[in-house]
Structure 1
Amino acid sequence: MAERVDHEERRRQIAEALLRIADTEGLQSASMRAVAAEAGVSLRLVQYYFATKEGLLLDAFARLGAQLQERMARRIEAAGSPPTPRGTVTAVLSSILPTDPEGRRITRTYTAYYTLVLNDPELIGRHGAAQPLLLEGFLAKQLAAAREAGEIPAGKDPQMVAAGLLAMVNGLGSSVLGGQRDGDQALAILRHHLAELFEDAGSDDR
């Protein structure tokens, strides 16, 4: 009897091979042939599951996003039950920072995709904004709940604060990868700014 093929497992195997190349060498090295070699399959099999390189890049990008979401979910769960707005915001933002091997791998791989967008904005750029916008909206809802509860100053705009916090952690991640600071120092900076935000509710909004 012929062996039954798990097609989703094959797609995952190939996409994760691309993500490993992106992490270690950058996406400029992720040719279909290189991905096939990394996955331990034939080039023809890669082309069977992904007719174009763009299709493979987008599939792998979606899987990378799912990995980050799983990391966030674990951090939110570890923050306590029921989750508080402050605990959730802290968990989400700290999960983006490259403070451990998993975080460094995810950040490096996202950086590889961002570099690709700069070189070929039509390829990934039109698909790359959806996840950050959803994340920004999620954080804004948490911050709005915190403002309603009096945990952050009433004058704070949740959408603007969420955008600023995400920009900050993305910048901190780049500074860790660049060797300017380590993960613990980046996390300390994030916690400092969150403490100022959440502990300033009783004072005038500045």
Structure 2
Amino acid sequence: MPKLVDHEERRAHIIDALLRVAADTGLHAVTMRSVAVEAGVSVRLVQYYFDTKEQLLLAALTRLAVRMGERVRERVRATGPSTAPRDIVEAVLLEAVPTDEESRTFHLVYTEYAVLSVTDPALADQSFLAAPNEMEDFLVGQLTAAQQAGDTDPRLDARQEAVVLLAVSAGLGLSVLLGQRTTSDAVAVLRYHLGRLFPGSGASDGCGKSGHANQRRP
């Protein structure tokens, strides 16, 4: 009896091959053939699931965004059910800093895609902004909760502060990719900024507990 083909599994296999190629050679150098070679399949099979390179790139971006969302939720859950907003904010922002191979690949490919989409209309996709917008709204909610709890200055504009936090974390993530600073140094800068925003609160150890920032590194 012929073996049933799991099309979603095969699509995922091809997308994962693209991500490996992109992480090694850069998104601009990815071709249907290089992806096929990495996946161990024919170019025709890649084209069966993805008519164009652009479709393949967008599918890979979607897969990355979904996985990033899962990682953020995992970090937030790890802080515990009664964690202060400050620790939840830190957990979310830490996902913008490459701390392992998966997050490094995400930020490398995501950054390259953002640059390419500026000049290539075929790659322009408004859904690209969905995840950042959702994260911004989530941070606004946490900052508002912190203001109501008296953990941060009630006069601050929660929306503006959320935008600043995301810009800081994104910039730190890029500096790690470029080798300007280490992951530990980037995390220390992030926690320093959070310490100013949440005066009197200790840095999170990733488990919802407070303590001195210099005693912990992811």
Q: TM-score, normalised by structure 1?
A: 0.90
Whether contact under 8 Å (1:18, 1:30) holds in the other structure is yes
Partner of 1:187: 187
Following superposition, the deviation at residue 69 of structure 1 comes to 1.4
C-alpha distance in 2, partners of 1:144/1:173? 25
Partner of 1:35: 35
Q: Secondary structure of the equivalent of 1:96?
A: coil
Partner of 1:198: 198
Following superposition, the deviation at residue 82 of structure 1 comes to 2.8
Paired residues in the alignment total 201
C-alpha distance in 2, partners of 1:86/1:174? 23
Whether contact under 8 Å (1:36, 1:42) holds in the other structure is yes
Letter in 1 for 2:145: A
Partner of 2:44: 44
After superposition, give the CA deviation of every residue in 1:1-52 in whole Å (9 maximum; x if it has no partner). Answer: 1110001101101111111112111111211111111111111111111122
Partner of 1:204: none
Aligned-pair identity in percent equals 48
Partner of 2:80: 80
Q: TM-score, normalised by structure 2?
A: 0.86
Partner of 1:143: 143
| Matches for 1:24-173 after TM superposition, within 5 Å | 24-173=24-173
Which consecutive unaligned segments of at least 5 residues does structure 1 have? 202-206
Letter in 2 for 1:86: R
Letter in 1 for 2:108: R
- Structural RMSD (CA): 1.7
Letter in 2 for 1:69: G
Whether contact under 8 Å (1:86, 1:146) holds in the other structure is yes
After superposition, give the CA deviation of every residue in 1:176-206 in whole Å (9 maximum; x if it has no partner). Answer: 11121100000000001111101179xxxxx
Indicate how the Cα distance of structure 1 residues 107 and 165 shifts in structure 2: closer, same or farther if over 3 A, else same. same
Show structure 1 runs of 4+ deviating over 4 A: none
C-alpha distance in 1, partners of 2:66/2:127? 15
Following superposition, the deviation at residue 121 of structure 1 comes to 4.7
